[in-house]
């Protein structure tokens, strides 16, 4: 019986060995089969919304920009350099930008224009360092003296009345140009259209300047020629005799009527109309008067364009009186006009 048990045990052992081998081979083959088995397709990720894509694109664009441009947008500090007389706070007041304000390139351009518009600075720059604004300015100088040179025909006191610049004021080129124009206009009113004025600046210490107006007065501008256009009833010589203005000639050195004067030209228009009216031209008028400066800028050529119109005669002449004691026939001899006269 014991022998049978051993045999049966050996038989059982022999049966287990093939089974164990089968299990081992199956376990080894399983990974290979798993590798060869086709995998199911992976799920497609969800497409981001348009707003999310826009934010992502903006983020990528900002990261691609330089650090200064990417971080620009809020003012972190404002540093002012180059001031001498002015306080830095005065400069900041023109910027219209304070710490914490949002800004862009247009805001910086506007601030720079405001600095120049104040006329306090001859030069100004604004640098943006990651929101830290650095403002560098160069102040306009202070006027020490106003000097006038070359004035002989016009009194210096009269010229100074036209000048707006004054000592201890801020010097600006725009005010200097305006004063130059006023001085020239003063000389033109006196008939000196050839006058010229050259402003000069002398730099002094402590950012001060002397302003010098060098004046070349030149001779009085004369009327070189008077032209009459549109006349057919009277010759130019006869018309010129009625005018107060005269053409410049060498023998006219005792008169000033040959100097150019705009007021005299206006008076001459009235003289011409009066002359034509007395000759019967009731419709006469001066169409235009043009005064042209000669190429050498010394004299003028004046041209009158006239429209003579028709000439009229007197028709029937009557005399009436609404006064009881005044009889018209007694006054007829006083009237010199007669029917048929021009």
Judged against a pLDDT cut of 60, whether residue 10 lies above it is answered with no
Q: Give the closest residue to 118 by CA, choosing from 145, 147, 83.
A: 83
Q: Is there a contact between 167 and 160 (Cβ–Cβ < 8 Å)?
A: no
Judged against a pLDDT cut of 80, whether residue 66 lies above it is answered with no
pLDDT number for residue 249: 82
Tell me the CA distances in angstroms from 114 to 14, 17, 84, 121, 188, one per residue in order: 106, 101, 19, 10, 36
Query: Would you place residue 63 in the very low, low, confident or very high pLDDT band (cuts 50, 70, 90)?
Result: very low
- Residue 301: count of CB within 10 angstroms of its CB: 15
Percent of the chain residues topping a pLDDT of 90: 54
pLDDT top residue among 191 and 112: 112
CA-angle at 273, arms to 270 and 279, nearest 5°: 145
pLDDT top residue among 311 and 43: 311
Strand 208-216 versus strand 142-149 pairing type: parallel
Q: Is there a contact between 146 and 208 (Cβ–Cβ < 8 Å)?
A: no
Report, as an integer, the average pLDDT of 203-232.
93
Report, as an integer, the average pLDDT of 46-73.
42
Report, as an integer, the average pLDDT of 260-273.
91
150: left (phi over 0), alpha (psi -120 to 50) or beta: left
Judged against a pLDDT cut of 70, whether residue 51 lies above it is answered with no
Query: Would you place residue 336 in the very low, low, confident or very high pLDDT band (cuts 50, 70, 90)?
Result: confident
pLDDT top residue among 224 and 27: 224
Domains of the chain: 72-139 (3.10.20.310), 142-216 (3.10.20.310), 222-307 (3.10.20.310)
Q: Can you give the pTM of this predicted structure?
A: 0.57
Q: Is there a contact between 213 and 184 (Cβ–Cβ < 8 Å)?
A: no
Judged against a pLDDT cut of 50, whether residue 99 lies above it is answered with yes
Q: Is there a contact between 197 and 214 (Cβ–Cβ < 8 Å)?
A: yes
Judged against a pLDDT cut of 80, whether residue 322 lies above it is answered with yes
**Stretch among 18-27, 98-107, 243-252, 285-294 having the lowest mean pLDDT:** 18-27
- Residue 226: count of CB within 10 angstroms of its CB: 21
pLDDT number for residue 15: 38
Rounded to the nearest integer, the mean pLDDT of the chain is: 80
Which positions ≥6 away from 228 have C-beta within 8 Å? 236, 239, 240, 303, 304, 306
Judged against a pLDDT cut of 50, whether residue 32 lies above it is answered with no
Instruction: Say how far apart CA 318 and CA 341 lie, in whole Å.
Output: 15
pLDDT number for residue 126: 94
Instruction: Say how far apart CA 70 and CA 323 lie, in whole Å.
Output: 99
pLDDT number for residue 59: 36
Instruction: Say how far apart CA 145 and CA 334 lie, in whole Å.
Output: 71
Q: Is there a contact between 221 and 192 (Cβ–Cβ < 8 Å)?
A: yes
φ, ψ dihedrals at 118, nearest 5°: -70, -20
pLDDT number for residue 58: 41
pLDDT number for residue 109: 93
Judged against a pLDDT cut of 90, whether residue 303 lies above it is answered with yes
Write out pLDDT tens, residues 239-265: 999 999 998 887 766 667 788 888 889
Long-range contacts of 206-210 (CB under 8 A, 24+ apart): 207/84, 207/85, 207/139, 207/141, 207/142, 208/141, 208/142, 208/143, 208/144, 209/141, 209/142, 209/143, 209/144, 209/171, 210/143, 210/144, 210/145, 210/146, 210/147
pLDDT number for residue 171: 94
Percent of the chain residues topping a pLDDT of 70: 78
pLDDT number for residue 252: 66
Query: Would you place residue 276 in the very low, low, confident or very high pLDDT band (cuts 50, 70, 90)?
Result: very high
Tokens representing residue 35 in the block = 């590798």
């Amino acid at each position: 019986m014991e022998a049978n048990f051993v045999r049966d045990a050996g038989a059982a052992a022999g049966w287990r060995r093939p089974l164990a081998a089968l299990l081992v081979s199956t376990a080894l083959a399983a990974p290979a089969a798993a590798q060869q088995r086709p995998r199911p397709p992976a799920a497609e990720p969800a497409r981001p919304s348009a707003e999310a894509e826009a934010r992502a694109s903006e983020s990528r664009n900002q990261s691609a920009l330089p650090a200064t441009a990417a971080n620009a947008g809020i003012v972190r500090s404002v540093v002012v350099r180059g001031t001498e007389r002015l306080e830095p706070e005065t400069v900041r007041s023109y910027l219209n930008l304070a710490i914490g304000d949002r800004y862009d390139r247009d805001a910086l351009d506007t601030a720079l224009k405001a600095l120049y518009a104040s006329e306090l600075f001859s030069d100004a720059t604004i640098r943006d360092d990651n929101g830290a604004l650095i403002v560098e300015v160069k102040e306009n100088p202070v006027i020490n003296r106003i000097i006038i040179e070359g004035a002989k025909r016009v009194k210096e006191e009269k010229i100074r009345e036209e000048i707006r610049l004054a000592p201890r004021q801020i010097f600006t080129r725009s005010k200097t140009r305006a004063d130059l124009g006023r001085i020239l206009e003063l000389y033109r009113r006196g008939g000196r259209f050839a006058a010229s004025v050259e402003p000069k600046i002398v730099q002094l210490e402590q950012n001060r300047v002397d302003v010098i107006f060098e004046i070349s007065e030149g001779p009085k501008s004369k009327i070189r020629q008077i032209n009459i256009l549109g006349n057919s009833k009277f010759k130019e010589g006869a018309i010129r005799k009625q005018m107060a203005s005269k053409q410049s000639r060498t023998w006219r050195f005792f008169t000033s009527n040959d100097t150019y004067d705009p007021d005299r030209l206006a008076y001459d228009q009235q003289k011409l109309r009066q002359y034509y009216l007395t000759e019967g031209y009731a419709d006469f008028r001066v169409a235009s008067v043009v005064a042209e400066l000669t190429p050498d800028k010394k004299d003028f050529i004046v041209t009158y364009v006239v429209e003579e119109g028709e000439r009229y005669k007197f028709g029937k002449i009557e005399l009436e009186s609404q006064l009881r004691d005044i009889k018209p026939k007694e006054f007829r001899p006083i009237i010199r006009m007669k029917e048929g006269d021009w």
